[in-house]
Amino acid sequence: MRIAYLNFEKGWRGGERQTLLMAHGMAERGHQVSVVVRAGEPLSHRLDTGKVRIIAARNRLHLLYCLFRYRKYFDVWHAQTANTLTLLSLMRPFIQGVIAFTRRTAFSLYRSHRIQWLQRWKTRRKWRQIQAFAAISAAAAQAPRSLGFDPVVIPSAIDYVAANPQRMQPIRAQLPEGARVLGTCAALTREKDPLTLIRAIHQLQQNYPNFVFLHFGAEGDQADAARQLVKELGLESVYRFMGFNPHIEDAYRLFDVFVLSSRMEALGSSLLDAFLYEVPAVATDAGGIPDIVSAERGWLCPVGDAQAIADACEAVLTDPERTQEKVQAAYRWVREEHGVEQMLDRYEQFYTQHVS
């Protein structure tokens, strides 16, 4: 098959990693793969040009030109993000081939009750252009199903990346000697709820003072409030903002506990990383997270409950035997359920069902 993957996002997050894994994996299986990307972004740099063709667009107008230019070439146009699906739906009268889409979020479709009918109409109209509809979790599939669509659930994959001691050393050098290391990998945005996380770390410090918390992640709408709260609570020496790290796999090797405080998650792929790198995981029960973090594999807390998060972190740090049991169960599960080959098998079958 001739497959085009479309991902026009800036930066490097879970969706971009999945696009990379799918593109390289399908190319290795003998398919002709092209990836339409935003020029100069991390995804365009990480793609192996020996495996796939890169179509780099400078802006949305250039992206539309690329879609028109290759409109008759591909058997499958797979939008990896909502914005690329919007452009594909606009180009539907001109494009030949199957339009596929993977929904990776669990956001509500409606930002205002007053315009629900309009948003519902616009969304349904756009999603009607999809011939092959997938979602990464039941939570991500919930909104499409409420509008009468039935996406196939194909979970994201996780791929092991070997440690790079040279990249880890500068971070390790900043850590207090003998301190335990807790951390997260989440943008400073409202849906990730960094303020509850900071309050949880403050409460944990009352009973377990010898640790440092590393917050890796891009800036967002809660960045200023998060830094202000750290200052107000006197956590400057404990809670450290590490910024965006393009090689976040290395950071997991430093963690004694991984914490995710999200209010909204379609899946929570950073938790899959924690499982793969054998880090105990504490998370909130938002969206698709309970499908990942069961009682056997980690610690699940109510959304917005700082005390519960603090208590779970303390349990990890003070009960090594129980912690190790959960870590090993999580590691076995993620290797069995979220391997790259399993995901590729599902998508290959998914495409075949829709390509005549």
Question: Do residues 28 and 75 both lie within one domain?
Answer: yes
3-41 confidence digits (pLDDT tens): 999 999 998 888 999 999 999 999 999 999 999 999 999
Residue 259's domain comprises 165-337
Confidence check: pLDDT of 131 > 80: yes
Residues 7 and 136 in one domain: yes
Task: Name the residue type at position 345.
Answer: D
User: Cα separation of 22 and 340, whole Å?
Assistant: 8
* Domain co-membership, 227 together with 274: yes
Residues 170 and 282 both lie in one domain: yes
Which tokens is 293 given? 């973090």
Q: Give yes or no: residues 153 and 169 share one domain.
A: no
Q: List residues bridging with 180 in a β-sheet.
A: 211
pLDDT band at 121 (very low <50, low <70, confident <90, very high): confident
Q: How many domains does the chain have?
A: 2
Percent of the chain residues past pLDDT 90, beyond the cut: 88
Q: Are residues 171 and 292 in the same domain?
A: yes
Nearest to 4 by CA among 91, 106, 122: 91
My answer on whether 192 and 146 are in the same domain is no
Whether residues 188 and 298 fall in one domain: yes
Instruction: Summarize pLDDT for 186-201 with one digit per residue, the tens.
Output: 999 999 999 999 999 9
SS3 assignment, position 181 = strand
**347 and 332 assigned to the same domain:** no
283-339 pLDDT, tens digit each:
999 999 999 999 999 999 999 999 999 999 999 999 999 999 999 999 999 999 999
238 and 326 share one domain: yes
The model's pTM is 0.86
Total residue length of the chain: 356
* Confidence class for position 356, pLDDT limits 50, 70, 90: confident
Residues whose CB falls within 8 Å of the CB of residue 295, separated by 6 or more in sequence, listed in order:
none
Query: Please, what sign has the CA dihedral across residues 291, 24, 16, 55?
Result: negative
Is the pLDDT assigned to residue 239 strictly greater than 90? yes
Same domain, 181 and 127: no
Which of 139-158 are b and which e, b meaning 16 or more Cβ less than 10 Å from the residue's Cβ?
bbbbbbeeeebebebbbbbb
What are 55-74's pLDDT values in tens digits?
Answer: 999 999 999 999 999 999 99
CATH classification of the domain holding 309: 3.40.50.2000
CA-to-CA distance for 93 and 309, rounded, in angstroms? 50
One domain, residues 178 and 144: no
